Amino acid sequence: MEPELPPIGLGTMGIEDPDTVARAIELGYRHLDTAQIYENEDVVGEGISRADVPREELTVATKVWADSLAPADVHRSTEESLGELGLDSVELLYVHRPIEAYDPEETLPAFDSLREDGLIEHVGLSNFTTTQLEKARGILEAPIAAHQVEYHPFYWEEELLDFAREDGHALVAYSPLAQGEVFDDPVLEEIAAEHGASEAQVALAWLAGTEGVVPIPKASSEEHLKANLAAAEIELTEEERGRIDGIEDAEKLFE
């Protein structure tokens, strides 16, 4: 059974205050995304412990960094991550990038083993190509639960979306606001004015309204946390979606 991911989650890269995470949970966020390389799993874990929300309502995701993808390191670093988070298990664990110590024949069975041991519920992949996804799918015993990639109005890969839909996994969109570039785009500005919303909300509405896509924007202030959640309620017309689809592609932000 695949994880039920809400329309909009919380990206936590750069968040250093546990109260931000706790407040996000209390406002309604149920999908929290962190990573070993963010060096804030302890912050996210403390935020979870401070929030007055049952643990079973949350989907917590973290990622094993590229230097810890040898089998023994997968187990060691995942146990360290759980210690930092203060949790017995996480719902979703990603291979962060298929580089450095990544060896599909060695790394992926280690993730299956974590699942068998009850330390994780689902296996995710991040920053893979379709060729790498195909190979992983042939090795993993677990289904691919999610594939996390850069995805925003200025950069997205249709073949990855097609693959996700065909395979039945979620495409989790990181950097959905293109590091603030959405605020400078005239198309998003026009549509935002039509809806009495912000450009960020329009970008998130476009993402959340795309079948199979789950954006995980980062926010720290209560105002932005609320605004990002509210974006899921904005209904764009097909014409508006087409205008956003037609925004000229820019260069990828993260290589």
The pLDDT-based confidence of 255 (bands split at 50, 70, 90) is low
38 part of the active site: yes
- Give CA angle at 189 (187, 191), nearest 5°: 70
Output the average pLDDT for the chain: 96
pLDDT at 144 over 60: yes
Sign of CA dihedral 194, 198, 199, 205: negative
pLDDT at 4 over 90: no
Residue-wise pLDDT tens digits, 218-247: 999 999 999 999 999 999 999 999 999 999
Asked if residues 147 and 170 have their Cβ atoms less than 8 Å apart, the reply is yes
Residue 170: strand pairing partners: 146
3-state SS assignment for residue 233: helix
3-state SS assignment for residue 140: coil
Query: CA–CA separation, 9 vs 30, rounded Å?
Result: 7
pLDDT at 1 over 60: no
Amino acid at 255: E
Task: Determine the average pLDDT of the residues in 163-188.
Answer: 96
Q: What pLDDT score does 249 carry?
A: 78
| Domains (range + CATH), the chain | 10-178+212-219 (3.20.20.100)
Asked if residues 182 and 200 have their Cβ atoms less than 8 Å apart, the reply is yes
CA quadruple 111, 117, 121, 127: dihedral, nearest 10: -10
The pLDDT-based confidence of 3 (bands split at 50, 70, 90) is confident
Q: Which of 29, 38, 151, 155 is catalytic?
A: 38
The answer to which of 90-99, 106-115, 243-252 has the lowest mean pLDDT is 243-252
Q: What pLDDT score does 175 carry?
A: 96
The pTM of the full predicted model, rounded to 2 decimals, is 0.96
Q: Where are the beta strands (DSSP E) in 115-243?
A: 120-126, 144-150, 170-174, 213-215
Q: What pLDDT score does 224 carry?
A: 97
Asked if residues 217 and 228 have their Cβ atoms less than 8 Å apart, the reply is yes
Burial class (CB in 10 A: 0-12, 13-18, 19+), 131: exposed
Residue-wise pLDDT tens digits, 146-170: 999 999 999 999 999 999 999 999 9
pLDDT at 171 over 60: yes
